[in-house]
Structure 1
Amino acid sequence: MKRPTGQKPKGAAPRSTRPRAAPQQPQRPAQRGARAQQPRRSSRLRAWARHHRAMALDSLQRLIRYPLGNLLTMLAIAIALVLPAALWLTLDSARLLDAELDDSATLTAYLEISVELPEAKRIEQAVSADEAVQGTRLVSAEQGMADFQQSLGVEDALSGLDDNPLPHSIVVRPGSVDPELMQALAERLDDIAGVDEVRLDLAWVERLRHLAALGTRVALALGVLFGLGVLLVVGNTIRLSVESRRREIEVVMLIGATHAFVRRPFLYSGAWYGFGGGVLALGLLSLGNHWLSLPVAALAESYGASFSLPRLDFTGSTILLSCSTLLGWLGAWLAVSRHLASIRPR
């Protein structure tokens, strides 16, 4: 029997009119673990500065833990620095003396006996007109005799002379103390009418300048030699420190530390050694100056002069401390770099 159209079969489940849901996708598990992140430049600089500060303080504390041995090392550095610094001070005083001698380097033009005082003044004006002349001073015959008697102490012996045998003279201060220029000036002055003779003696000035040049070279040579001595002292001390911390260095290098990281505390130790040696050198120089100042002053006073030993000023002290610190740093750098090349982490 046919079913009527549009009727459902008995027992059939009614169709749902709701839309079917889309199949759910499996959820991805959340990512766990470390993620790579590029640090900022400012963070790296702050970390670098913190490590430098920490290594500087740590190296200083290590030096303080063993004061006697480290003080002896600094004293050896100070002794190596004292002699070049003392020669430097001596050369400074010699340069000051050379400047004073340059001011005292003069020519003396002796006039003819027949020249009277008015004529002598005219000749002085002609001499001062030369472009190479910086200044002149006329010494009359009477003043020359008085100075001669006072310097030799023979007033009674020369008081019976009827006539004054000394002529008028003109003391000439040249603008340059170059020997060739002064010799040319002396020849021009000798050609002036009324000038009998021109005396020029620069041999002692040349000898002093040669001695000053020799002293400069000796000071530089000694400075280089004693500077190498400071490098050896600091380098040997840092080498022993590296050997005592060899296991620590190997462990640090195993976890990825660079040579610069390992080298940093030893560099600060070398700089502290150099700085301490410079401070002790300044103390030794001050002590030596105080010890020798009285005998030197008494010796200069016995010759009718005043002289005091030179002292290091602020600039000189800063240069000495900077050089000593730099030498200590350089000695440490050479020693550590040499030994780090031989250390291989196992």
Structure 2
Amino acid sequence: MKIWFRHHVAAICHALAQFRRSPGHFFFNILVLSMTLALPFGGMTILDNIQSITEQLSVSPEISIFLKQEISRDRTIAMEQSIHKILRTDHQKAEILFIPKETALESLQKKTGMNDIADSLGRNPLPDSYVIRLPDNMSSGTALAAQIESVVHQLQKLPGIDKVQIDSDWTKRLAALLSVLRMGLLFLAIILSIVVIVVTFNTIRLQVLMHLDEITLSWHVGASRAYIRRPFYYMGIFLGLFSGCFALLLIDLSLIPFNSALYELTQLYGSSFQLTPLNPVISVILLGASAALGWLGALLSVNRQLRRIS
């Protein structure tokens, strides 16, 4: 065990010594790799921020009923019986939730930060409303869609109803769009991963050629393949790891001007949304993936060169 540990420490020291001998060469390789990795890392950061918002949105079928402003509270509460009657006629099992306009305004202020909206308008601009929540297991099928459209059509005929809308449609479209973006990001990550492997392959290949005499001598005096490969494996790992760290640093620094621009935009809407860096767990996973890509490039390169020697 001690011998194994000493061999790995020696390989790490040898790999780091190569970085010190040619700092400019490795710096530009790391720069290229970090720019390459910054694209999928940045895309993942944006998707992660969008995902945190969409997780708060409901994708189960919901129908929102907005009442006219002039309707009294007594008539609004009494309207629940008419809604129940329509749902029973169409055999829909649903939960009916009444949302007073005061509660709706308070919720809007918490979500957007527009605390002075009522003061600036002189009144509460939101109406009383009902939300009809249908069961999740009924959220698909053309027959169900037709039933929901029938319910919406009947609800729109009730006196005092201003607007009826199906809330889940746009959230489902957003979820579908995010799914497409994830697939695009995955495709981009695969393509750029190949670029990382190729760059690492060529970098390690040059290092092997520079030390070819030393490697050949070690091979003929009985050094094992693992002993010869190990320092180059660590060089690939360090290339990937350092490039991943630099890419994450670039993304975090780029969020500063982005958030400055976003701040000016969101202030116009009374919001305080800001892009946040990736959480530490995802960052560690990305760094591990970067190191693995560097190791894979080194593995392919070293094995190819050693086959030529032997």
- Aligned match for 2:131, one of 138, 158, 171: 171
Where do 5+ consecutive residues of structure 2 fail to align?
105-116
Partner of 1:107: 63
Quote the offset at 1:233 in angstroms: 0.8
Quote the offset at 1:305 in angstroms: 2.8
- The change in CA–CA distance for 1:94 and 1:264 in structure 2 (over 3 A counts) is same
CA contact (8 A) 1:109 1:189 kept: no
Q: Counterparts of 1:84 and 1:46 in 2: how far apart (Å)?
A: 40
- Aligned match for 1:238, one of 198, 204, 216: 204
- The change in CA–CA distance for 1:154 and 1:275 in structure 2 (over 3 A counts) is closer
Aligned residue type for 1:255: V
The structure that is helix-richer by fraction is: 2
C-alpha root-mean-square deviation of aligned residues, in Å? 3.8
Quote the offset at 1:183 in angstroms: 6.2
Quote the offset at 1:280 in angstroms: 0.7
Task: Choose 1 or 2 for highest CA Rg.
Answer: 1
- Aligned match for 2:98, one of 132, 137, 140: 137
Partner of 1:119: 78
Superposition pairs of residues 9-28 of structure 1, within 5 angstroms: none
| 2:26 aligned with 1:70 | yes
Q: Deviations over 1:108-140 (max 9, x none)?
A: 347899x94453244567799999645512558
CA contact (8 A) 1:110 1:168 kept: yes
Select the structure with the greater relative contact order (CA < 8 A; seq sep ≥ 6): 2
CA contact (8 A) 1:238 1:336 kept: yes
- The change in CA–CA distance for 1:273 and 1:122 in structure 2 (over 3 A counts) is same
Q: Counterparts of 1:266 and 1:133 in 2: how far apart (Å)?
A: 64
CA contact (8 A) 1:179 1:202 kept: no
- Aligned match for 1:97, one of 53, 59, 79: 53
Quote the offset at 1:79 in angstroms: 0.7
Superposition pairs of residues 11-50 of structure 1, within 5 angstroms: 45-50=1-6
Q: Counterparts of 1:110 and 1:70 in 2: how far apart (Å)?
A: 63
| 2:239 aligned with 1:283 | no
CA contact (8 A) 2:67 2:128 kept: yes
Where do 5+ consecutive residues of structure 1 fail to align?
1-44, 144-149, 156-166
Partner of 2:173: 207
Q: Secondary structure at the match of 1:243?
A: helix
